[in-house]
Structure formats: C-alpha cells, structure tokens
Amino acid sequence: MAGDQLRAFIERIENLEEDKKAIADDIKDVYGEAKSMGFDSKALRAIVRIRKKDFSEYENSQAVLDTYLAALGMIPGGFDE
C-alpha cells in the first residue's frame, strides 16, 4: 500500500513538472514575441518581478537600492558629495 501511494505521489510530481516546463516555455515565447515587437525583455522581467511584490516591499527594496547606489556615487546624494 505504501508503495502504491509513493508511486502516485511521484507520478503527480512528474506530471506537474511537465506542466511547469510547458508553462515556462509559454512564458519564454511571450517574452520573445514582445522582444520581436521592440520591447526590452529585461525591462519586462523587472516589471513582472515588481508587480509580484507588495507596494511597501517594493518601496523598501527601491530605497535600499538607491542608498547603495548613492553610496557608490552612482546617483546624486552619495556620501562623496
């Protein structure tokens, strides 16, 4: 009985892995289509990442990034000014 349950779990996982690969391929195709129409795929990926976040989480991560960039003198307001 335990062997049958284990086999069923493994088969479900394998099926889901196949579905996941198909979805990943579909997403790749959409990025390719957007790129062929002149859109920047890196920018699109960044926007998708941002939209996954809660707005306050986005604001916080952006503030940290801005602080680091300023510290490196890459944006106005750095420590060397």
Would the pLDDT of 76 be above 90?
A: no
79: tokens are: 């420590």
Q: What is the pTM of this model?
A: 0.70
Residue range 26-43, pLDDT digits in tens: 999 999 999 999 999 999
Interatomic CA distance for residues 46 and 63, integer angstroms: 16
Give, for 58, the enclosing helix (H) or strand (E): helix 55-71
What six digits make up the tokens of 57?
């989480």
Q: Which residues, including other chains, have CB under 8 Å from residue 78's CB and lie 6 or more apart?
A: 69, 70, 71, 72
Residue written as tokens 């420590």? 79
pLDDT tens for residues 35-74?
Answer: 999 999 999 999 999 999 999 999 999 999 999 999 998 9
Query: Is 81's pLDDT higher than 60?
Result: no
